[in-house]
Structures are given as structure tokens and as C-alpha cells.
Amino acid sequence: MRILIVDDETPARERLKRLLAGIEGAELVGEAEGGVQAVEMIEALSPDLVLLDIQMPGLDGFGVIESLQDPPPVIFVTAYPVRRTLADLAARLDPAAFFRTHRSAIVNLNRVQKVIPWFKGSHKLRLTTGA
């Protein structure tokens, strides 16, 4: 899995690199120190996963996602208390491309391969990644 780290703080990037070093199959493809650089690197490198800081000067993590036409899977990382909620993020994302499937999940609809009927009117999603 090709991973990009995005954080404005060097110690945070170093810690994430150490954690990734112990994961088999994790390949660090780059590091970005800010949001604008992150957008450029995501578009150039097409990582499989982005470890993305939420609070950065200038373009924050939410702004990075909003700037991308087809964002890759993202894990938000931060050393600070987060005041924004998933509802705030959902409200900022394009509803034609993102759907809040659960109180703890937002799905990029471009990554949905199949909707599978499940129990009692619920559904499961099969993603293009196979998950």
C-alpha cells in the first residue's frame, strides 16, 4: 500500500514514519508539510492512502479533500482536540460524490462498486478496493 504523510509538524511526520516502518506492505511514497503541497503530491503520486493532519496553516485537511476531484482514502491524524464533527465534514463535501452511510462513516461514492441488500432493509457496500 502506497502511503503519503501530510503534517505541518516534523515530529509528527517522523512518528508516523516510524509506525509505518513496522507495517509489512506499507510503502511511504512521500511527505507533505502543508495542504497545498499535499494536493500537488496526491495528484502527482496517486497514493493508496493519505495520513492527513486536520489542523495546518493555510489549507487544512478538510480543504485538501475539498480541493481534490477524486480523493484517495484518508485517515485523519492530529495532535490537537478536533472541534469539527463528521456532520461538519459531510456538509462541506459534494453530496453528489460523498454520502454519510452511518454516524461514523462517510463514503466516497466513486469508490462504491456494488450495493448489497442486507438484513431488515439495510445494505452493505462493496468498494472498488474489495473491502
In terms of Cα–Cα distance, which of 32, 102, 113, 43 is closest to 72? 43
What pLDDT, in 10s, does the model give residues 45-92? 999 999 999 888 899 998 999 899 889 989 888 776 656 677 777 787
Residue 22 CB contacts under 8 Å (≥ 6 apart), including other chains: none
CB 90 within 8 A of CB 103: no
What pLDDT, in 10s, does the model give residues 28-39? 999 999 999 999
**Which pLDDT belongs to residue 82?**
58
Q: Is the pLDDT of residue 130 over 80?
A: no
SS3 10: helix
Please give the model's pTM, rounded to 2 decimal places: 0.69
Write down the domain spans for the chain. Answer: 1-83, 85-131
Q: Is the pLDDT of residue 24 over 80?
A: yes
Topology (CATH) of 1-83: Rossmann fold (3.40.50)
In terms of Cα–Cα distance, which of 77, 76, 103 is closest to 90? 103
